[in-house]
Structures are given as C-alpha cells and as structure tokens.
Structure 1
Amino acid sequence: MPKINEQINSSCSDKNSEVLRFSIGRNGQIRLMRKRIPEKTGGPVLKKLAMILLLPVFCLFVAGNSFPADPNKVIHSVFEAADDGFDMVRTQNYYSGWVADAIFETLLTYDYLARPARLVPNTVEAMPEISPDGKTYTFRLKKNIFFAPDPVFGNRKRELTANDYVYSIKRLADPANRSPSAGFIRGKIAGLDRQVEKARKTGRFDYDETVFGLQALDRYTLRIKLNAPDSNFPYLLAYGALAAVSREAVETYGDRNAVHPVGTGPYMLKDYVPRSRIVLEANPYYRGFVWNFEPSGDPWDDQLVRDMKGKKMPQIGRVEISVIEEEQSRWLSFQEGKIDFDKLPQLAAPVALDHGKLKPEFTDQGIKQYSMVEPEVTYTLFNMQDPVTGGYSREKIALRRAIAMSYNTQAEIELLRNGQASKAQMIIPPGVAGHDPAYRSSIAYEPELASRLLDHFGYRRQQDGYRTMPDGSPLVLKIRTEANASSRVVSEIWKRGLDRIGVKVMFEVGNFADNLKDAAGCRLMMWGGAWHADYPEGENFMQLLYGPNAGQGNYGCYRSKAFDALYRQAIQLPPGEKRNRLYVQMNRQMEADTAWSVHVSRTRNWLVRPWVMGFKKHPILLSDWQYLDVSK
C-alpha cells in the first residue's frame, strides 16, 4: 500500500451529475464531498460518462491494498546507450525494448526464475489451446485488465480486449510502418500476407478488414490460424513488438506514439528526456500479481525466494533511468551508490574481479555479483549493397573475407572484455536452441593469408602501403562506431588488423540510436552490433540474414538464394537435429559469402546493491523492475 506523505486531492463524477471530491490526509483518512454540477455546465455528458465512472475506485487515483507499489520505493537504473522511443513496432533498439516491456504486455511471458526459459500466461487465463494439426491457437484473455490512465480514453477505464491484439499484430505487418520485426510474422498467419500485399498496391492498410487467420471471436477470445505448424510461434507472442496497444492511442498520438506509450503493463512513462533520462511510475490500473516463483536449482535463488515469496507486486513505485554511455562515468556512478544495479563495465573487470569473483572491497559493502553468459552474439556487418564492400562476385567476397580475417578477436577478449567473453564460432550463441558447441568457424584471424588473398584478387598495395580496388580506384573502408571507451578499443583492433593487410579505414562516430536507424536503411558500409535473443531459438538469429528481411532487421541487406532456401526449410521443421543441421548449413553459407564478421558472446557480471531484493537477470526478459523490491 502506498505511503501517503502529503495531502492528495482529486475528484470524479457520479451518476447524479455530481462531482465526488475526496482528500486524503497524511494520516490516510479519506474525506468525501459531493457537489452538484448544473446541467448547463455539462451535466448530460457527465451522466453518460457516469454509467462507467460511477465508483470512486475508477478515479485516476487508486487507493487500497490492490495497489502495493510504494512511491517511496525507487530503483535507480542506467542504460549504456540511448533508446529511440518506445514503439516496438518501429524499432529493435535493445534499450527501447527494456522500457517498453514494462509498459506494454504480450499474451505470453516467461517464468522469472525458470532456466531454461519457460513460457507462461501473461494477459491470458492459460496457455493457448492448440488444434491437433498445430495450426490454430485459441487464447482466452483475462478480464479486468486496463490500459494506464490517459486522456485519450476520456477519463474512463479502457479494458484490454482480443481486438487490441488483432490490431497490434496487423500494425506490425502494415508495410507503412516498415517494422524491423515484420519478418517475425511474415508468411505465418493465414490471410495476413494477402492483406499486406493489398496495402502495398493501394497505399493503405485496411485495419477493419477481416483476416481469416487473425480474429477476435468475442471480447476475450483470440483465434490465430497459421499457414503451417510452427513450434516457435508461441515464443513470438512473448516478443515486445506483438504486445497490445490501443488503436485510439496510436491514431491520436501519431508520430508521438513512440514517446507517449500507453499500455497495460506495470509501469507508465512519467518523464522523458531523450538520450538522458527516463522516469517510470507504477501504473495505478495494473492488476498486480503475487511473487510466487519456484527456485530453478541455482543457489542464487534460495535467498531470493526467501526475500520475495508471497509479496504483492509490483513493490517499486518509481524507476529512474539515466543514460550514461561512457563506461568510466557509469562505473563511478555505481561506486558512488547512485545506481542500484548494473552490469560491470568490462573495462572495470580488473578493478572489481579476481579470477572472475568480486573482490572483498566490494563484497564487504554487501554488493552481490550475478554472472551469466548472455544469449547474444557481437558482430560487424557488411553492407551488401555498398559499392565497396557489397556484391557477390569472387573479388568482393575475397575483400570481405580478408577484412574479417584481419580482426583479432582474442585481442578483443583480452583488451576490452578482460577475459569476460568467449569467441563466437557461429551466429547462434550458447543457451539458444540450434547452437552447436562443436561448430568451428571457417574464418580465423590470419592477416598474412588475408594479404595473399587480396593480392590474388588484384587489390594492389601502393607506395603508402595501402591498397586500391582492382580497377585502381581508392579502397577506403568506413566503419560506423559510437563515442564510448569500448568502441574506441574495437576501432583500434580493427585499425591494427587492417593496417597489416594494407586496407585504409575511416571511423565515423555516431550515436547508437542514430546508427541503428542508418543501419535499418542499409546506409552503413560496416557497423558493429550485438543481437540479444528475443526468444530462445536459432530462428531469432538466422532471420537477421534472411533476404526478405533486408532493411527490416537484416541490416546488411544480405540476400542469398541458398541461405533463404535453407531458412524456409528450417522454420517448417520442429526443434531437433534436422533443423539444427540446417542452421549449420546456413552458418556455412553466411561464412562463404562473409556477410558478417562474428566476434564474441559476453559474460555479464551484474553488481547488485544490498538493498535490492529479488534480482536475477533473465536471459530473455528485459524489464525486471516489477519483480524487485528495495529495503533501503
């Protein structure tokens, strides 16, 4: 129950066209007062609204034990890069998703403690009913789930319905939105692609037209029919881009929808300073839940369960997020107690860790360390449309291969990661279905061999030591990067390796959010990024190289008939050896074309202040504030 430290005044209307005023004093006592509203000042309108707004509990202030979030319980978080708004249909920004997952809700989510990751119901009563042929999913929504209070709803409670999910999925498919996540559902839902093609021809997506495979059977029942069985489909329904939004909010706020998110989740956006500060406050309409997760066998869980079992959630009333891109500044903020938990900057590992364990000077402060190998891969992409690095001729493939062979991944692990990473051998990282621990990449750090490869294909060295293109024109690479210490180390590793093979390089520094937008437009010659699993299956990584996703997740605009054919075969198979063998072939095809230079999977060491309870970083879930408590 919120702690009340000051008098609060508010009002709402009742069925007699009266204003029901109430005040709450510091001692929690509630005083009610009624005042008649004359007809000429809006009585008829209020009478209509009063049929919905009758009871005090429907006012914008919600009091009582049903709302346990305490405004005095504040979590101070930090992001190492900026978001680009919170409309997840239009971005795949990791930090945008972190906030959006606290604001919007998907049909399914993940058990907070279960490892490996396990799906559980979220806004639905139970896991979906699946037809015997595996193609029809029926979901039954919980009743009395409401969107956060917002003027767009006319000061009334707006309930979540099955139609909201129909609209949200259609919006993801709408070609006008150019969603980088549209490929997640392309070709999957019966009749939806037909409507997409119609929209491409007419220039308008008809949201009111019925799609055979995507229907609200009634207010709380959603039925989705697939073109073919897809064992990964439930995972997609736990992905943020398929979370429920309200049509009226999207259409009212238009382009501002990205910075005026309205969802049904545990938090709502209170304050937003782009690339600087984000403040979330507990959603007073959120239904809440009881913290009742079972330990997974990890010793870390024992104390966590003792601290949290049986609590009404969320407990945290306010989340304050600072964007601090420079690692040293972020590390100093944590040391000063301004951040409640953060992943240890890898450049600070020698200061904080001894053989991978937190040093006594930190454990003596009660700081806890939670380590995990991220289900992610870091890489540098090549723009396959770029006149220098793009193309599929033998000499262009040779250039990309030589560039990739010049990068010293071990130097990155030692100099940047301080040993807190492992070389990525394939696109699919450990912890994700389809990862093959025996797989070894055909691209290694071999600068001498890379030089001979360039010689063979006519990239000739000049007197200054740098090479030209086979036609004699200058060969200059442009690698987009960010203004932080980690990026500077990576740039230095690239520079050393490329100098060894005689390839000139320029580094263009930009902001992460802007770089992501340019990458989505296939405007970057080379760019380094990381992909964190949206769901724990290899398809989530392979779709980043699928041709039809070019410009919409496939940021290198890689198009390979062989790769695409293997991808289509793989997604039609159930999880298992046959699908995994196709993933291996797809890795080999990517390496043959050298569309990416694959780098590492990072070990994350999360440092948690002693007053934070309930923390355990999930491999898929981003937002975790609703699972936490503080005892400052």
Structure 2
Amino acid sequence: MKSPVVRWLMYLGVLCGSAAAAPALAAEPLKTLRYIIPAAETGFDPAVARDLYSGHVLQAVFETLYTYDYLARPATLAPLAAAALPQVSADGKTYTIRLKRGILFTPDPAFKGRRRELTVADFVYSWKRLFDPKLASPHAWLFEGKVVGLDKLVADARKTGRLDYDAKVDGFEVVDPYTLRIHLTQTDFNLGMILAHEPTSAVAREVVVAYGDARGDVSSNPVGTGHYKLGQWVRGNRIVLERNTDHLPETWDFKGNGTPDDQRIIAQMKGKSIPQIGRVEISVMVEDQSRWLSFQSGGTDLFWLDGPLAPKALQDGKLHPELAAKGVQLSRLMDPEVTYYYWNMKDPLLGGMSKEKIALRRAIAIAHNIDEEIAIVWNGQAERLDYPIPPGVVGHDPAYKSLLQYDPALANRLLDRFGYKKGKDGWRTLPDGKPLVIRYVSRNEASGVLQAEVWRKTYTSLGIRMENDRMIFSDLLKAEQLCKVQSRNYQWVADYPDGDNFMQLYYGPNIHQNNAGCFADPEFDRMYAQTQKMPAGAERDALYHKMARRIEVTGASRMGYARYRNMLAQPNVLGYKKHPIMKQEWQYIDLGARPVPSSKGSDPG
C-alpha cells in the first residue's frame, strides 16, 4: 500500500501532466495608464510631502479614513478606509469612526512575513507623527489645538525634542481595533474633510522603524493600504505604480448627478471591479512642448493641458474640432484654488508693520496687472479673484470687492509720499537712501519665466529694480517653509472644499507650514480662532470678510486668480471625469483598446 505522501505526489504528477497537455489560458492583458506630471515629486511620506504632484502618488498608495464621491458635485464626503461616514455628536465635538475589517498593508520586509492588518491605532500613530519635532511636518495645523490632550503631548515633545508615541491622548479613544472615538476641544464640523486629506493617511509604525531616516521620514519607502503600490521610482523622472492585489474588493457604483456626461460614464463603468487599471506609468516632463508631443503621438493617455498649451487644443474653452473628431476627450473645470502674491513679512526689506513698509507692499500690489498676467502666462485659462476663498469652496463670495485694484498711478504716488524717492537714474531708493532691489522667485519652467517677465514690467513701472531667482519646485518649497523667499506667485489648491483651508494660509501659527508669506498678525489670528468654533454660514462669512480686509490693509498679499483645469484624455480612456478635490482618479477609470497609430503621423500643433 502506498503511503499518503506517495499517493499525493503521484496525484500532483497527474495534475501537472494534465496542465502541460492542456492549452494555456491566456492571461488578461495588463492595462497600463500613461500619465505626465509637469514638475518633479518631492517624496512619498504623507506627513512630509506638501506638493500636488507627490499628492497624486500618496492618494494612490495610502488610504485616509474618508475620500470623496467620484461623481457627486459639489464634492461629497464618502468612506474610504472607514466603514461609513462618522457619527458626529450634536455639539460637533465627538466623532465616532468605524474601520472596515480586513484591510491589509501591502507586503513588506518591515512586517517580517506577517500579513499586517490596518487598525485604528495606525491612524492615531500617523496623526501623532505630524507633531514629532524631529520630523517637523508641515501638516500639524490639521489637528493643532483641536484634540483633547494632544497639546500636552506636543508641549512635552517640544521640551524634550522627542515625541512619546506610546503616551495616551484622551482625545484619541481607541475603543477596539476597528473603532475610534475622537474628542475635540471645540466644535468642528469639518473634521471629516480633514480626515480625507492625504497627510492623515495611515502609515505603519514598523515601516518608520525599518526605513525612517534621522528625522523619521520614510519618503523613499511608501508602504500603504491603497489601490496601488510603488513599483519603480527614478527620482524626478519616472514613477511606476502597480495594482495592490491584496486590496479589499470593490465594485464601481456611483450615481452621478443625472447629467449626460455622468450617464455616459456610468454606462461605461457600472458593475466593474475597482481598479481596472493594473499599472500607472508617470513621467516627469517639465517642458511644455514635450508634454504636448507625447499626448499628440499617443504616448500619454491622460494629460493636464496647462494654460501655456491651451491654444494647442482649445478655442473658447472647447476642443478644436479636429481633436474632437479624433475622439479626444476634454474634462474641464475651474480649480478650487487661488494664486496669490505675497511679500515675506519676515523679510528685512519687505516685512514689518511700519507705515512705509505697508505702503511699499500695497503699492506693488496695485501696480500689478493681473489680467495681463492671465493673458500672457496662462493664455486666458484663469479668472481673476478678489476674495481669498475661490469658487467651488464653501465660503466663497463672488460679490466681494478687494481694496487692492489695479492703479499704477496711485501706486507711484503712494511710494512718493512715503519716501521711496527716484534717483537721477529713474530707480527708487529706500527711505533711508539705500538701494531698493526686490528679489522675485519663480519656478524654473516656462510659466515661471513668463511670470518673472510680467512682474519685471510691474516693478519697472514703479521704478523698482527686480532680480529673478529661478528655482526647482522642491527647493522652492523648502526655502519658502523657512521664510527665505522674498516674494513670489503662490498657488494653493483646496485640500478640502471649505473656506477654512484657505484662511489658514495667513494664520500666524502656520508659519513654517502653509503660511508661505510668514504673515503674523494678532488681529487676524484672533478672528481666525473664532471662525474655528463656527459652522459654515453667515456669521462665519462676516468674519471671513473682515479677515480678507485685514490682509489687504496690511498689504500682506494680493489675491490673483483661479486657473481652469483642462484634462485631455485619449479616446480609449473610459469613465474619466476630473474631480475638484481628488488629485487623481486612476482607480475609478478604465482603458479600452488603444487605437492603431496612423502611418501618416499627426500635426504637433
């Protein structure tokens, strides 16, 4: 009698022989989406990265508790790692959150062979990281002063230089591995949106221990629970994401708003598993024409048509007929963003609250022709803004009129009055007679060059010498965070669709985080603290108006414009619609068969 082991081996041999004799089943082809970003990423640690381009990857690799419904407009909060929307107490101070069970981090040596399940403790750990003094995260403002007991942990860390991750924070009540209760120090009805912002993503402690640098930064080793994982990375050049096959199964089932576009997308996608895209190949292309040629030749599936390239494909906000005839798709919206101009309030030349410094900043602000900048730099693909809160964001006021309106003659009179005299050479000096030279910093791509020239015209009209420093985007962000940039155009795209996300850009305690102009004004800070206790509505809007006036009166910055987002998709891209808040939508779309390239080639435009 043969032993059970021998019988089992013989059985395997039969199976293997049968498999060899049978025709092999064709593997389903891997669907690969090719995408371009116009500036280099900075890294992939959710607690550290703060640029739009790195955010694309963070949203794909990591998961927050919440996200946004793909098709709903206006943007509507939806569960992601959470099992449902939070239960919020009547006073808005307690949030109860339940986690989906069975969510796994992607396999990694840091877990020593274990299948590592996500728990609410991972979120608590990740949020504490935002306050680690070694890491110096720019995102501490998301929870600062809001969670019961958290401020004490932070104060202790500042004294010792070390954060005690094991210390209990009463405001983060871990009820069980899948239930978290957050206790706030004051009412906050926006916390759900904050928990949809990628810096609040879950990072495993084991990963930080295994790969963290001296600061605890794991930008080079992103390990998350998202729909994708990092496959390849050549810094500043190429990023490849691969599908996370361990992700919990999901089915595409969005309702939309009943528009023809939504109905078309639903017909293409309903009932499909998420994601359909198995691989995302991201190329970094700084040069405008290179990006356009890549899309034109079919080398890119989904393409951000920035303002400088708009004439290549658009006329009056619509696709050129020849592109539409080829099946090229356009998804267009006004970004919930603001480009504003700041003058560093900590800078010895431009900063300070003396009358002559305020006069200098206000004169520069009203001498700048925003409409001309929109026309020259963005080919008209933007709308001028007077208010710090842009369209599409709760709190926006389209009727608001800024005190700072274009008036170069008044600007020159203002400088004359406050002692900025012109010499025989036509250039102004400081009131003390020293030379007046302002350094304007711009990015090192084509739009940055154009912006610098527009601003040079502004400063020349005032008799002020301007020098232009051009910097790589990542270096510019670092310098800005240290208050080392004298002046520039600053773009902020909504992290969440509420006015708070824009007013915090001027809040004093957010210097070295998101307060790029390093504006510290007790009056503004007092009003901002009041708005934190208010729900959206008329009372909060009235305070926002006063805060906007305070920015203008001090000359801290001037609002510029909001840009249109024009996304072009090849004919074989299915289900695509640009979301106003999510940085990328790769998991919600599909690819059909790619068209055979024409032997005749195409006009690059």
Do structure 1's residue 85 and structure 2's residue 85 form an aligned pair?
A: no
1:356 aligns with 317
Q: 2:131 aligns with which of 173, 182, 185?
A: 173
1:489 aligns with 450
SS state at 1:599 partner: strand
1:573 aligns with 534
Bigger mean CA deviation after superposition, 610-619 or 125-134? 125-134
CA distance in 2, matches of 1:312, 1:624: 14
Q: 1:146 aligns with which of 87, 91, 104?
A: 104
1:262 aligns with 223
CA distance in 2, matches of 1:285, 1:527: 44
CA distance in 1, matches of 2:116, 2:29: 24
CA distance in 1, matches of 2:323, 2:63: 37
1:384 aligns with 345
Q: Is the alpha carbon distance of 1:492 and 1:196 closer, same or farther for their aligned partners in structure 2, counting shifts above 3 Å?
A: same
Do structure 1's residue 291 and structure 2's residue 291 form an aligned pair?
A: no
CA distance in 1, matches of 2:400, 2:503: 16
Superposed displacement of residue 254, structure 1: 0.7
SS state at 1:72 partner: coil
1:233-291 per-residue CA deviation (whole Å, 9 max, x = no partner) reads: 11101111011110010121113610110000000111111111111111121113100
Q: Is the alpha carbon distance of 1:216 and 1:285 closer, same or farther for their aligned partners in structure 2, counting shifts above 3 Å?
A: same
Structure 1 unaligned residues grouped into runs of 5+: 1-21, 32-63
Q: Give the 5 Å matches for 1:393-542.
A: 393-542=354-503
Residue identity opposite 1:253 in structure 2: Y
Superposed displacement of residue 380, structure 1: 2.1
Bigger mean CA deviation after superposition, 294-303 or 200-209? 294-303
SS state at 2:141 partner: helix
SS state at 2:339 partner: strand
Report if the CA contact (8 A) 2:344-2:487 is conserved.
Answer: yes
Name the TM-score, length of structure 2 as normaliser. 0.92
1:194-246 per-residue CA deviation (whole Å, 9 max, x = no partner) reads: 11001111111100010000122211111110001101111101111011110
SS state at 1:176 partner: coil
Residue identity opposite 1:281 in structure 2: E
CA distance in 2, matches of 1:363, 1:447: 43
CA distance in 2, matches of 1:342, 1:273: 20
Name the TM-score, length of structure 1 as normaliser. 0.88
SS state at 1:279 partner: strand
SS state at 1:602 partner: strand
SS state at 1:381 partner: strand
1:116 aligns with 74
Question: Sequence identity, in percent?
Answer: 48
SS state at 2:383 partner: strand
CA distance in 2, matches of 1:371, 1:26: 54
1:585 aligns with 546
Report if the CA contact (8 A) 2:131-2:163 is conserved.
Answer: no
1:103 aligns with 61
Report if the CA contact (8 A) 1:105-1:243 is conserved.
Answer: yes
Report if the CA contact (8 A) 1:71-1:316 is conserved.
Answer: no
1:42 aligns with none
SS state at 2:30 partner: strand
Do structure 1's residue 619 and structure 2's residue 557 form an aligned pair?
A: no
Structure 2 unaligned residues grouped into runs of 5+: 1-11, 594-605
Report if the CA contact (8 A) 1:563-1:586 is conserved.
Answer: yes
Q: Is the alpha carbon distance of 1:27 and 1:339 closer, same or farther for their aligned partners in structure 2, counting shifts above 3 Å?
A: farther
Do structure 1's residue 365 and structure 2's residue 326 form an aligned pair?
A: yes
SS state at 2:255 partner: coil
CA distance in 1, matches of 2:412, 2:94: 55
SS state at 1:490 partner: helix
CA distance in 1, matches of 2:310, 2:90: 52
Report if the CA contact (8 A) 1:412-1:490 is conserved.
Answer: yes
1:104-129 per-residue CA deviation (whole Å, 9 max, x = no partner) reads: 11111110000011111111221122
Report if the CA contact (8 A) 2:448-2:470 is conserved.
Answer: no
CA distance in 1, matches of 2:183, 2:528: 22
2:601 aligns with none
Residue identity opposite 1:452 in structure 2: R
Q: Is the alpha carbon distance of 1:613 and 1:461 closer, same or farther for their aligned partners in structure 2, counting shifts above 3 Å?
A: same
Superposed displacement of residue 418, structure 1: 2.0
Report if the CA contact (8 A) 1:88-1:96 is conserved.
Answer: no
2:122 aligns with 164
Report if the CA contact (8 A) 1:71-1:317 is conserved.
Answer: no
Report if the CA contact (8 A) 2:92-2:188 is conserved.
Answer: yes
1:489-524 per-residue CA deviation (whole Å, 9 max, x = no partner) reads: 111110111101101101101101110111011111
CA distance in 2, matches of 1:211, 1:223: 11
Q: 2:175 aligns with which of 205, 211, 217?
A: 217
SS state at 2:130 partner: helix
1:602 aligns with 563
1:558 aligns with 519
Do structure 1's residue 311 and structure 2's residue 269 form an aligned pair?
A: no
Superposed displacement of residue 175, structure 1: 2.9
Q: Is the alpha carbon distance of 1:71 and 1:405 closer, same or farther for their aligned partners in structure 2, counting shifts above 3 Å?
A: farther
1:164-211 per-residue CA deviation (whole Å, 9 max, x = no partner) reads: 011011111223322211111111110001110011111111000100
Q: 2:157 aligns with which of 196, 199, 207?
A: 199
Superposed displacement of residue 27, structure 1: 13
Superposed displacement of residue 340, structure 1: 0.7
CA distance in 1, matches of 2:249, 2:18: 22
SS state at 2:312 partner: helix
Q: Give the 5 Å matches for 1:243-282.
A: 243-255=201-213, 257-282=218-243
Superposed displacement of residue 343, structure 1: 2.1
Superposed displacement of residue 419, structure 1: 2.1
Superposed displacement of residue 155, structure 1: 2.1
Bigger mean CA deviation after superposition, 225-234 or 177-186? 177-186
1:9-62 per-residue CA deviation (whole Å, 9 max, x = no partner) reads: xxxxxxxxxxxxx99x9999699xxxxxxxxxxxxxxxxxxxxxxxxxxxxxxx
Report if the CA contact (8 A) 2:338-2:389 is conserved.
Answer: yes
